[in-house]
Amino acid sequence: MMRELTLATLAATVERNATVIVDFWAPWCTTCLRFSPIFTDVAQQFDDVVFATVNTDEEQELAGIMGVRSLPTLVGFRNGKHVFAKSGLTTRRQLGEIIDEIRTLTPEQE
């Protein structure tokens, strides 16, 4: 499932879904534009994960709160907790491995 997140929708999204992966991007970021189809393709492989995007030009406050300093940045949440962050281009394989790791975290590891 793919959706756009804002500061107003972030908390409810991460609290209501077991696993959420967020792509922080900007329209001027060429690496972000290269990563976008990868993110979309991988999203189709995981029905139990919410994939979300945040346009940092429009959501500067949210990007600041999440500590986003470079783009693209992936942020992962598990059971409402922030458990992962990575900046830079990510391959399909790497993204799949990241998601698998996040999905299998136990409450003690979160």
pLDDT band at 106 (very low <50, low <70, confident <90, very high): confident
Cα(47)–Cα(17) distance, integer angstroms: 12
CA end-to-end span of the chain, whole Å?
A: 22
**Could you say which of 7, 18, 29, 105 is catalytic?**
29
Active site residue 44: no
Active site residue 32: yes
**Could you say which of 20, 32, 63, 99 is catalytic?**
32
pLDDT mean over 3-26: 97
pLDDT, one tens digit per residue, over 47-103 is 999 999 999 999 999 999 999 999 999 999 999 999 999 999 999 999 999 999 999
Cα(64)–Cα(81) distance, integer angstroms: 17
pLDDT band at 34 (very low <50, low <70, confident <90, very high): very high
Query: Residue 13 pLDDT > 90, yes or no?
Result: yes
